[in-house]
Structure 1
Amino acid sequence: MYAIVDIETTGGKYNEEGITEIAIYKYDGHEVVDQFISLVNPERDIQPFVVNLTGINSNMLRNAPKFYEVAKRIIEITEDCILVAHNAQFDYRILGTEFKRLGYDYKRKTLCTVELAKDLIPDLPSYSLGKLVRSLGIPVTDRHRASGDALATVKLFKMLLDKDSTKTIIQKSIRLNPKRQLEPRHLDILESLPSETGVYYIHKADGKIIYIGKSNNIKKRINQHFTNTNHKSKKIQTQVTAVTYEATGSELVALLKESEEIKRVKPLHNRALRRNIFTHALYAFKDGNNYLNLKIDIADGRKKPITTFSNRQSGKSFITKAVEDYNLCQKLSGLYKTKSSCFKYEIKECEGACIEKESPELYNKRVLSLIEKNSYSNKNMVIIDRGRKVDERSAILIQNGVFKGLGFFNLNYQINNLEVLESIITPMNNNRHTQHIIQSYLRKNKRLKIITFD
């Protein structure tokens, strides 16, 4: 018995996606004997490109059942079935992730129709579902919707069952966990890699570096490169012959080294990596009444930002928290558009800078505290973080608000003496990217040790 599945998701970061629609057709090898089709409220945002692709938007899902409400039905219809999907690795991972959030270990045997089609119908130009069914004359409706794609997969699977006349290829393709099988050379490379934080370099046969990355677990990250099915990963899989690495201990050191090395080496597959490292920034300006205003805006290289963000939402979250922490005015922080008082003033949580009730001097003092905390402009300081060994620490040196470089030390006197500190620091370039990396890291890691000096 087979359960033929197709899932539409929100898109987004790996293992953070949510299901927006699911279709399951229970198939006995001859006909569909049961089916389950439902929209699902993912309880998270849908990526705009996914909305364009599937036509499924948040309004459609507002009254849809949440995953926990359909979980029992999914378990029942797939019980004692082999899960069949076009790219089974994806659908099985998404289902497993959703069930894991509920504390349930979901396990089924799987079959991938991409893998089967490559074995049974070799040498086709493409094995994407749309192109494959078109080339085989299989009708498909509602493309990129779960029901339409699942029905197309049913028809494709029926054809593949017929083609496997000896019934041996399909039998051999059944897996308990549909992970891509690693090639022996990839396994050899993985054997030599550590599960440590650092920067890694992927080389092709002539030794040339084709990709540079950083990870908190180098071995795990390289394994993802070797098992992912996106275009870049497939290119890397065919070209890689060796992976070298540099352990850093500190994620901040790894981020800074990765950024500098990519700019220096310009690897083939890193072209788009840092194009949009930050898109928005926090700016301050004085209004006509001498109050310091804050604004999250698109990053502009001609202006000096207080701090930068990877996207607008990150900036908005930051300023919302800052309003609470520093008792700032929503209106003067760009969160509440009004010609009169802000909402917080109405509920007696704002001192009234929005209607000039609080003096600019008192209000600006709190804004300057926020700026001082989140900008290292004109500061002299050393950021202390983890080292490569238990008895080692990393040091990131900033002088007059300029990132000078980083190094490692074992003894405290090495960082308390500026001359000794400068001698152990490896000089590195200061630019907008390094500023963004450092400021973002400081925002996320509040407990970092920071030493200031004159």
Structure 2
Amino acid sequence: MNFSSWPTLLVVDVEGNGCNPPDLVEVAALPVRDGQPDKSTAGAWLTKPNHPVTPFAARVHGLTNQVLDDKPGWEEIKDEVHACLGTAWIAAHNAHVDYRVLSAHLPRWQPAGVIDTLRLAKAAYRDLPKYSLDALIEHVAPDLSQAPAQRHRATFDAYATAQILIAMASHCESWEQLVAAAVPPGLPGAPEPEQEPTLW
């Protein structure tokens, strides 16, 4: 895979307050440049949700209401997040979830495309019993020594997902082949289905 052929790509991850629909409590956006995650230009935001974090969500990611109490509200940071994401491609694990939540919070945002590392993993590693992020971390064994925070924080999960995406990209000959395997139908960037030729 020639990484220089890749368009601008941000690996994203979000954490919520445990409600449905969720309020965001953390967003991470990590660029991949020349086949490496670029922490020097990454974006990471903590935000105080409109509704309290549920005990279950707090146990998962560790972001309690006390931790978030002095953080800015979403209205204060949304323009900065939107500017960081721009019109770049995004990648995420089980990407339709992150795309749906971010789209709900950023109604004017339109990424160029959405890479789903879960979908790509099923094409790259056909015989795994599970395709969760934990299962892929175990299978791929990426170097996470430089990952920020810890598992289930947006910054860590984005870094781990970026490393797994880079590893899986070696199974594809080109960016176009990766897109064909990794973009879910109906999401931005999905290849157009080939039309059967007709007489008309």
Same-fold call, TM cutoff 0.5: yes
State the structure with bigger RCO (CA 8 A, min sep 6), 1 or 2: 2
Amino acid in structure 2 at the alignment position of 1:148? F
Coordinate RMSD, CA, aligned: 2.1
Alignment partner of 1:163: what SS?
A: coil
Matched with 1:106 is: 109
Unaligned 5+ segments in structure 2 are 1-7, 191-200
Alignment partner of 2:27: what SS?
A: strand
Unaligned 5+ segments in structure 1 are 182-454
User: Are 2:139 and 1:135 equivalent residues in the alignment?
Assistant: yes
Alignment partner of 1:127: what SS?
A: coil
User: Are 2:164 and 1:156 equivalent residues in the alignment?
Assistant: yes
- Give the Å deviation of 1:122: 1.1
Contact 1:24–1:37 (Cα < 8 Å) also in 2: yes
Q: Deviations over 1:289-309 (max 9, x none)?
A: xxxxxxxxxxxxxxxxxxxxx
Matched with 1:22 is: 27
- Give the Å deviation of 1:6: 0.7
Matched with 2:44 is: 37
User: Are 2:74 and 1:67 equivalent residues in the alignment?
Assistant: yes
Amino acid in structure 2 at the alignment position of 1:19? L
- Give the Å deviation of 1:29: 4.0
Contact 1:2–1:27 (Cα < 8 Å) also in 2: yes
Task: Give distance in 2, aligned partners of 1:117 and 1:10.
Answer: 28
Amino acid in structure 1 at the alignment position of 2:97? F
Matched with 2:187 is: 178
Alignment partner of 1:37: what SS?
A: strand
Contact 2:93–2:116 (Cα < 8 Å) also in 1: yes
Task: Give distance in 2, aligned partners of 1:177 and 1:73.
Answer: 27
- Give the Å deviation of 1:115: 0.3
Task: Give distance in 1, aligned partners of 2:64 and 2:156.
Answer: 17
Max Rg structure:
1
Matched with 1:430 is: none
Task: Give distance in 2, aligned partners of 1:46 and 1:161.
Answer: 36
Identity of aligned residues (%): 24
Task: Give distance in 2, aligned partners of 1:65 and 1:150.
Answer: 22
Match of residue 51, structure 1, among 49, 55, 58: 58
TM-score (norm 2): 0.79
Amino acid in structure 1 at the alignment position of 2:108? D
Aligned residues: 174
Matched with 2:155 is: 147
Task: Give distance in 1, aligned partners of 2:174 and 2:33.
Answer: 18
Task: Give distance in 1, aligned partners of 2:90 and 2:35.
Answer: 16
How do residues 2-401 of structure 1 correspond to structure 2 at under 5 angstroms? 2-13=9-20, 16-31=21-36, 32=38, 34-99=41-106, 104-108=107-111, 109-140=113-144, 142-172=150-180, 173-174=182-183, 177-178=186-187
Alignment partner of 2:19: what SS?
A: coil
Amino acid in structure 2 at the alignment position of 1:24? A
- Give the Å deviation of 1:8: 0.6
Contact 1:85–1:111 (Cα < 8 Å) also in 2: yes
Alignment partner of 1:93: what SS?
A: helix
Contact 2:23–2:50 (Cα < 8 Å) also in 1: yes
Task: Give distance in 2, aligned partners of 1:134 and 1:87.
Answer: 17
Alignment partner of 2:118: what SS?
A: helix
Task: Give distance in 2, aligned partners of 1:8 and 1:35.
Answer: 16
Task: Give distance in 2, aligned partners of 1:88 and 1:40.
Answer: 21
Task: Give distance in 2, aligned partners of 1:27 and 1:146.
Answer: 16
Q: Deviations over 1:272-329 (max 9, x none)?
A: xxxxxxxxxxxxxxxxxxxxxxxxxxxxxxxxxxxxxxxxxxxxxxxxxxxxxxxxxx
Amino acid in structure 2 at the alignment position of 1:46? V
Task: Give distance in 2, aligned partners of 1:49 and 1:178.
Answer: 30
Contact 2:119–2:184 (Cα < 8 Å) also in 1: no
- Give the Å deviation of 1:89: 0.5
Higher strand share: 1
Q: Deviations over 1:237-291 (max 9, x none)?
A: xxxxxxxxxxxxxxxxxxxxxxxxxxxxxxxxxxxxxxxxxxxxxxxxxxxxxxx
TM-score (norm 1): 0.36
- Give the Å deviation of 1:161: 1.6
Amino acid in structure 1 at the alignment position of 2:31? K
Task: Give distance in 1, aligned partners of 2:14 and 2:186.
Answer: 17
